[in-house]
Structure 1
């Protein structure tokens, strides 16, 4: 059976592919430690789980409006006021089946063939493929390690063409942990207003910040900037609800209406039970959010210290999210245990086969020198994994 050219161009998610291979090896009886998947290892908070159970018992098992329930939208409005100081209306919110689905909706609603989007490299693995799925093009502006993985805003403006419609940022960043400072966001907002661009701001990790950093959204800069900003968010990372599949956008009402129309023809509504639980997560106690953030901070310190102790490995301290993104390029061109290492993909495959440690190559994120390790796992596993990496790199 023939596949369309559009689907034939797509690549499987590198994170999912590496995690699947690791699980296959585990099924074969191998003791693989997986640092590939960006999924918190904490349970969903008990009160949120109970809200899901009560939603089932209360009969919340039918269709909802395609773009989400009024209750969840009002909860998102309340959270936006609490976390961002923004007054948002339900008409500005579209709820989807996770933030990835919302991003697909956004590109489907805004990208015409040949339209151009600017990304920041390293970027999350799905951004580029989603843009190309809708026949768009992209340019990646480098966010170098010596700038803590935050790009020069002047470089972003220099990448603007007459077909550029949007800039997509992710702060804190997956995979680098880079965090845009308030002045960077303000400068980007100025570019967007002057150059008639939309800012797509993926804020899914905004509650996972370290060292006293604060989140700042482009929508907070000015009313003009807010009119040009689409916020993407969800409950997956903040509340450890990856499997519940609830994400949303906050955008001008006219654009949001288009998202809802598209979604009504693609998937209809998000899961009704998960919507009820997500509303309770947003409106209920936030103690679990801070507890998880604090634990991630401790794990960050452990993994960065251990990685930097390995000869030839250099790892910056991420300012947010739960990923370490070490530079392993000093090993490129070398032969380890009979295997030539030329790329980050070679390195990730070598560490999986020889060290039984699953990572994601930087090639998947638009850069060449790094690999990504998620520290959304126990400190014990972090120590064991870094020990295995050190042994494998010793040859």
Structure 2
């Protein structure tokens, strides 16, 4: 494949040079590999610091970080805890697989919402509590045997660093295309199994495209993988489901598992996204007991386990009726924000080929914009000058084995825009993006006018 040809504007772009330099692996300190220290979102935040974000964050619109608003003003949602009690047990080291009451609460939630009437039910032994989703992914990677692991691109940026840490994993990218809305299909899975893939890792709902694989297609994928491949399903955005009229329904692979101890399906979720508590770092892995025992044990040398007082406080939040009510309120609120942002972008002239059916992200195509902002890095740089942060699409084109030059990426002309923040932040961010687009279109128009005036 020919290398991506940098345009004249890109060759003169400071942000493109910064990206190149940060990904060359130069080592100013012996033994340090600086490229392992930063994900794409962190890199964008570091560039924002250079423009004053750290000194005055309230003046900015951060539409880059993948976090939902944490305030208590969403109609119908329960108030976030403002203080927690610390028991004597909470002062001790906790079990690295998590405290039993919380493991029981997670199992009960999935049985109530996804497994009613099924003979095989999750128990506390099918649940491991972990200090955040990244920790859960790293624990899973640590217990996998030597394997070909397929991951779909574009996808969550932190997978890149995680997959590059473990030499037992041969990470194989599976590109998804615009023509099918970046959709993970049964046929695509079948092709990869035929090629020898034994593990699949994917976010569902998908970050950054905002799409979701639901039943019956999700069930067909699981049927195909049963006894052939392990499915690692990152379901952190499962609460943000806009396909069922905001009735609180959550799509999960747990509904299609035949035998909770035999089906090799590992599900990750937690309080971070759908319970809007990213600072708590309380998450879980759900799966067969043998997998969970290994994942629980390896926490002793990887992360030491999850904060015990926060685990104790989380138990009451997972009451199934309470969760259903919470998801209804969450879906109504975030669908409203989705529609606002889409409306503003379309009014600016952006062409959105499809709406997000889940998450709080828009995978925004820049290809119709003027040349100076038609790629993710230059658009990102222009937004920084207006005190707004987005994430260049190139960071979601995972490349853990460094097999490709990322400037060949089909994600080069995209950015991810988050509508996770509060409405006032979204309004500020949309105003800033509108200024960027208007300024560059006017500049392009002046250039075009000058050429016409100069004609004989």
Identify the TM-score tier after normalising by the shorter chain: 0.7 to 0.9
TM-superposed CA distance for 1:388, in Å, is 1.6
1:70-125 per-residue CA deviation (whole Å, 9 max, x = no partner) reads 1110110111112222621111111110111101110111153xx32111222000
Q: 1:308 aligns with which of 322, 326, 346?
A: 346
Residue matched to 2:41: 15
Q: What is the CA–CA distance in structure 1 between the aligned matches of 2:279 and 2:101, rounded to whole Å?
A: 21
Q: Is the 8 A contact 2:242 2:358 kept in 1?
A: yes
Residue matched to 2:199: 166
TM-superposed CA distance for 1:256, in Å, is 1.1
When the two structures are superposed, what TM-score results if normalisation uses the length of structure 1?
A: 0.88
Structure 1, 239-248 or 225-234: larger mean CA deviation: 225-234
Give the match's secondary structure for 2:45. helix
Q: 1:380 aligns with which of 396, 401, 424?
A: 424
Q: What is the CA–CA distance in structure 2 between the aligned matches of 1:53 and 1:299, rounded to whole Å?
A: 31
Structure 1, 150-159 or 320-329: larger mean CA deviation: 150-159
Q: What is the CA–CA distance in structure 2 between the aligned matches of 1:371 and 1:180, rounded to whole Å?
A: 22
Residue matched to 2:91: 61
Residue matched to 2:314: 278
Q: Is the 8 A contact 1:200 1:229 kept in 2?
A: yes
Q: Is the 8 A contact 2:372 2:378 kept in 1?
A: no
CA 1:34/1:147 → structure 2, altered by over 3 Å: closer, same or farther? same
TM-superposed CA distance for 1:28, in Å, is 4.5
Structure 1, 101-110 or 376-385: larger mean CA deviation: 376-385
Q: What is the CA–CA distance in structure 1 between the aligned matches of 2:202 and 2:60, rounded to whole Å?
A: 33
CA 1:318/1:73 → structure 2, altered by over 3 Å: closer, same or farther? same
Q: What is the CA–CA distance in structure 2 between the aligned matches of 1:305 and 1:47, rounded to whole Å?
A: 30
Q: Is the 8 A contact 2:63 2:418 kept in 1?
A: yes
1:111-143 per-residue CA deviation (whole Å, 9 max, x = no partner) reads 53xx32111222000113211211223233333
Q: What is the CA–CA distance in structure 2 between the aligned matches of 1:161 and 1:146, rounded to whole Å?
A: 23
Find runs of 4+ consecutive structure 1 residues off by over 4 angstroms: 44-48
Q: Is the 8 A contact 1:104 1:130 kept in 2?
A: yes
CA 1:325/1:93 → structure 2, altered by over 3 Å: closer, same or farther? same
Residue matched to 1:126: 158
Q: Which has the larger radius of gyration?
A: 2
Give the paired residue count: 381
Please list every run of 5 or more consecutive structure 2 residues that lacks an aligned counterpart in the other structure.
1-28, 398-410, 441-456
Q: 1:389 aligns with which of 430, 433, 441?
A: 433
Q: What is the CA–CA distance in structure 2 between the aligned matches of 1:302 and 1:110, rounded to whole Å?
A: 43
Q: What is the CA–CA distance in structure 1 between the aligned matches of 2:327 and 2:91, rounded to whole Å?
A: 28
Q: Is the 8 A contact 2:115 2:254 kept in 1?
A: no
Q: Is the 8 A contact 1:80 1:88 kept in 2?
A: yes
Q: Is the 8 A contact 1:167 1:198 kept in 2?
A: yes
1:195-224 per-residue CA deviation (whole Å, 9 max, x = no partner) reads x10011111111111141754433422426
Give the match's secondary structure for 1:227. coil
Q: 1:371 aligns with which of 393, 402, 415?
A: 415
The alignment yields a C-alpha RMSD, in angstroms, of 2.6
Give the match's secondary structure for 2:68. coil
1:54-78 per-residue CA deviation (whole Å, 9 max, x = no partner) reads 2x16652221111100111011011
Q: Is the 8 A contact 1:48 1:278 kept in 2?
A: no
TM-superposed CA distance for 1:346, in Å, is 2.5
Q: Is the 8 A contact 2:139 2:302 kept in 1?
A: no
CA 1:335/1:368 → structure 2, altered by over 3 Å: closer, same or farther? closer
Give the match's secondary structure for 1:259. helix
